[in-house]
A and B are shown apart, each in its own frame.
Chain A
Amino acid sequence: TQLLEQSPQFLSIQEGENLTVYCNSSSVFSSLQWYRQEPGEGPVLLVTVVTGGEVKKLKRLTFQFGDARKDSSLHITAAQTGDTGLYLCAPNAGGTSYGKLTFGQGTILTVHP
């Protein structure tokens, strides 16, 4: 059974600060996705990383897939109140797993003005 751990579980920061959240697993994955979920809404896909060591940038967000494809990080530069939400990582085993993404428990980020 694969173990998926996201850290930290909670993060409370001031606007303008930088932060990094992590997603670690004991298994190797073909790809990994990051989603953000705002209160009262469903998760929204931010990025998919596929290649070990891959780095993708989405404005102030930088996503990295570990070289061994077992872990990932999300770094936010100069956080804004609009970044507040639950950040979920979702590795995908691929193949015929019918899109069976395994979601982490998430990091709840609160950015204070």
Chain B
Amino acid sequence: NAGVTQTPKFRVLKTGQSMTLLCAQDMNHEYMYWYRQDPGMGLRLIHYSVGEGTTAKGEVPDGYNVSRLKKQNFLLGLESAAPSQTSVYFCASSYSILRNYEQYFGPGTRLTVT
């Protein structure tokens, strides 16, 4: 089991460029999440998905879009990158309520926008 994987690990963008971050999980989880981590602020939820074909907004959704076309994949898109989106991005996935909400995290993507 690879668990949760993220692609790419690092990326540098110029302001206004676009990119897509890919998250994949091989645990057959229904729920998937995208977070960003900024110094001193813990993790903040950007978007999440409760199943294939569904997405919903989290705490800080502005400037991001997501898609969940396949159960195992959750994509995070930045259409026009801004320096404020410089951050470390984490993807996570979880089982249903029967597993008491534990989330499994990927290794992160470090994004710098210049």
Partners in one complex: no
Interface residues of chain B, those whose CB is within 8 Å of chain A, are none
